[in-house]
Amino acid sequence: MKCERLYVWKRSCRLSVEIYRYFAECRDFGFKDQITRSSLSIGSNIAEGLEKESDKEKIRFIEIAKGSAAELITQIYIGIEIYYIEKESGMQWVQEINEILKMLTGLKKNYSFKEK
């Protein structure tokens, strides 16, 4: 897979694993499902997009990954407020997601430049 060489993909997968492990014992299955699915969606959409033929399609999936990252940040803040997530852990995740978002923006620019 083309994504395996990308640091942004590796980081997003590691984050998803961390979130899955954190919520392994969570009994609120609705919240657990939502937050783990949004974390999983970031790396999954990067992978799916990079396998597409056109740069336009690649960009679309990068945008979807960015949307999933924003969704995950929202869920983390809510999780902190309802005491499902320790504030320190949650803020570290938010920081990591913001770094991933910057990397996705750079990746998108790379494909936008190539498209022209």
The pLDDT averaged over each successive group of 10 residues in the chain (116 residues) is 91 98 97 98 97 95 98 98 98 98 96 70
Q: How many residues does the chain have?
A: 116
State residue 1's pLDDT score. 72
State residue 105's pLDDT score. 97
pTM, rounded to two decimals: 0.93
Taking a C-beta distance cutoff of 8 angstroms, is the pair 18, 52 a contact?
no
Q: Which tokens is 81 given? A: 């407020």
- CA angle 95-23-48, nearest 5°? 65
Rounded Cα distance between 55 and 49, Å, is 9
Taking a C-beta distance cutoff of 8 angstroms, is the pair 22, 93 a contact?
no
Burial code (b: 16+ CB inside 10 Å, e: under 16) for 17-51 equals eebeebbeebeeeebbebbbebbbbbbbbbbbbbe
State residue 114's pLDDT score. 65
- CA angle 64-44-112, nearest 5°? 45
State residue 116's pLDDT score. 52
Domains of the chain: residue spans and CATH: 7-18+29-111 (1.20.1440.60)
